[in-house]
Amino acid sequence: MEFHILPFLAFLSVMVVASHAAISPEAYWKSMLPNTPMPKAVKDLLPNEWMADKGTSVGKPGKRTNVGVGKGGVSVSTGHKGKPVYHKTQLGIIPAIPIIPTIPIIPIVPTIPIVMTTYAATEDQLHDIPDVALFFMEKDIKMGTKMPLYFTKSTTPTTFLPRQVAEKIPFSSEKMPEIMSYFSVKPDSKEAEIMKKTVKECEEPEIKGEEKYCATSLESMVDFSTNKLGKNIQGVSTEVDRETQLQKYSITGVEKMAGDKAVVCHKQEYAYAVFYCHKIQTTKEYVVSLVGADGTKAKAVAVCHMDTSAWNPKHLAFQVLKVKPGTVPICHFLPEDNIVWVPK
């Protein structure tokens, strides 16, 4: 089945109020995780420009180019040499923020809600399952195993907002009218429906053994992960060296990551980068090296759930693998824009 992207232009007006200098999300990462490389899934979402109060200058540290952004212009800059800083009250306008509707059928690599343990597949979805290894057994993660896979990059060019900006924007079902106003979204539009769904999923109660949190900034995602796992952690994401079509991949290497617990963060459909993060226990994580039939190389993160007894009995995984809850470990690869946090 073919799906169409429905982008829309939403002008996000945010007020940056900082009485003291504030560091960028990238600098915050380095301060909290100084010896931890930043995964590609995070790098891809870092904004290239930072708000400052020096006219409408945009450029790299030490360089300055006057550029107008949005109607009326906006003060955007990396600031002076060194790390970006936020000064007095500024009105920033980030134009053309597209939203891609949540795909109601099965995406190539499962994302929320497919991986949500409370999720139940419908009859229509079962009939529309593509010939792709959505779920597999842990015993399949070995050299030589071949799987039909289709790795895709996110086509939603959203970025992280600095925490001091994100925290000033409401994010709750009770505040949906205000949120719609922020984004100039019509309440009865498809875009509004998508945003409401994302917020609602973030507000759903935790299941047994799960600790969840929706991070609206990189800083808050780092804080949640370090709070649950400690600071000696690493973030890992799936990486593919080029975009390809559906094809068979062969496993050429397997590396098991440390620990039996992890925090997995799934990118959500929203007007800026939002991640549904949850701490999961009784799991095993692997970095699996793959080579496609056309020579494409990938390092995919596989998460194996060792205890599925609390999952919805109608979860897609059970129906695809034809097993019952709590009987065998169930594994899946993470999409390129998801992040798994594990102890080093």
The angle, 0 to 180 degrees and rounded to 10, between the axes of the packed helices 25-32 and 218-229 is: 20
Q: Which residue has the tokens 């617990």?
A: 261
Specify the DSSP class assigned to residue 76.
B
Residue 143 lies in a domain: yes
Question: What was the pLDDT predicted at 94?
Answer: 32
Q: Give Rg (Cα) of the chain.
A: 21
Question: What was the pLDDT predicted at 316?
Answer: 85
Choose among 103, 83, 213, 201: nearest CA to 156.
Answer: 103
H/E segment holding residue 111:
none
Question: What was the pLDDT predicted at 287?
Answer: 97
Instruction: State phi, psi for 233 to the nearest 5 degrees.
Output: -130, 170
Average pLDDT over residues 271-283: 91
Question: What was the pLDDT predicted at 33?
Answer: 95
In this structure, is the dihedral angle defined by the CA atoms of residues 43, 46, 49 and 52, taken in order, positive or negative? negative
Question: What was the pLDDT predicted at 66?
Answer: 27
Q: Is the pLDDT of residue 214 over 90?
A: yes
Q: How many other CB atoms are there within 10 angstroms of residue 188's CB atom?
A: 8
Residue 301 near residue 342, CB atoms below 8 Å: no
Residue 62 lies in a domain: no
Does this model's pTM top 0.85? no
Average pLDDT over residues 33-62: 64
Question: What was the pLDDT predicted at 272?
Answer: 92
Amino acid letter, 207 = I
Domain count within the chain: 1
Domain span at residue 179 reads 40-45+129-343
Q: What DSSP string describes 252-303?
A: EEEEEPSSSEEEEEEE--SSS--EEEEEEESEEEEEEEEEETTS-EEEEEEE
Choose among 194, 205, 198: nearest CA to 276.
Answer: 198
Question: What was the pLDDT predicted at 74?
Answer: 22
Q: How many other CB atoms are there within 10 angstroms of residue 124's CB atom?
A: 9
Cβ contacts of 181 within 8 Å, gap of 6 or more: none
Residue 305 lies in a domain: yes
Residue 77 lies in a domain: no
Choose among 68, 45, 44, 51: nearest CA to 14.
Answer: 51
Choose among 240, 246, 267: nearest CA to 339.
Answer: 267
The two beta strands, 283-292 and 275-281, are unpaired
Least confident of 80-89, 149-158, 326-335: 80-89
Residue 22 lies in a domain: no
H/E segment holding residue 43:
helix 40-43
Residue 22 near residue 53, CB atoms below 8 Å: no
Q: Which residue has the higher pLDDT, 76 or 14?
A: 14
- Split at pLDDT 50, 70, 90, the class of 311 is confident
Residue 8 near residue 99, CB atoms below 8 Å: yes
Over residues 127-173, the pLDDT tens digits come to 445 556 789 999 999 999 999 998 866 555 688 999 999 999 999 99
Question: What was the pLDDT predicted at 212?
Answer: 93
* Separation of alpha carbons 103 and 5, rounded Å: 10
Instruction: State phi, psi for 112 to the nearest 5 degrees.
Output: -60, 135
Question: What was the pLDDT predicted at 16?
Answer: 39
